[in-house]
Homo-oligomer: A and B are copies of this chain.
Amino acid sequence: MGNVRDLTERELETWRGFLAASTLLTRRVEQRLKDDAGLSHAQYEVLARLAAAGGCLRMTELAGAALTSKSGLTYQVARLAEAGLVDRRSCAGDDRGVLAFLTDRGRAALRAAAEGYSALVRAEFVDGLTEEQFSGLRKGIQALCAHLDNAGEPVGPPA
């Protein structure tokens, strides 16, 4: 071990903390969304991305935005369509295409869930850190996303 250059203790600790924090936060968000609105985080993300895009996206684009695989998106959109939160429409000009269309009920569900979601993110992710700590975290994450973008698929907030 230690052939090239081992991670320092600080680096490893940071990485573990990063994993732990994301695991725990994701779990709590999941719980909250389920309780509040009966949505999974994946489903919330789909609705949020649709709304952000003006209410309509093609499946592939949506899969990219929601950070899921194509098959995963097919599954979740099917769930959301069953619940009437999303419509599947064919795509004008491309017979292969499928548009995921945010319904009024979908918008309503998103609005209903957003409140608690924001509150949770604020309580768990934002508050509890000083301005300086959050600022450092923010810049680090920005740099991380930029770095990940370079050597891979796009990532991070579409800005």
Q: A156 to B20, Cβ gap below 8 A?
A: yes
Interface residues of A in 18-41 (CB under 8 A from B): 18-26, 28
| Protomer copies | 2
Interface string of A1-20 (1 = CB under 8 A from B): 10111110011111111111
Whether A155 touches B21, Cβ cut-off 8 Å, given contacts A5-B122, A134-B140, A140-B133, is yes
**Could you list 18 A-B pairs, sorted by A, with CB under 8 Å?**
A7-B121, A11-B121, A12-B157, A13-B138, A15-B121, A20-B156, A20-B157, A21-B145, A21-B156, A24-B152, A24-B153, A128-B147, A129-B144, A133-B139, A133-B143, A134-B140, A136-B139, A138-B140
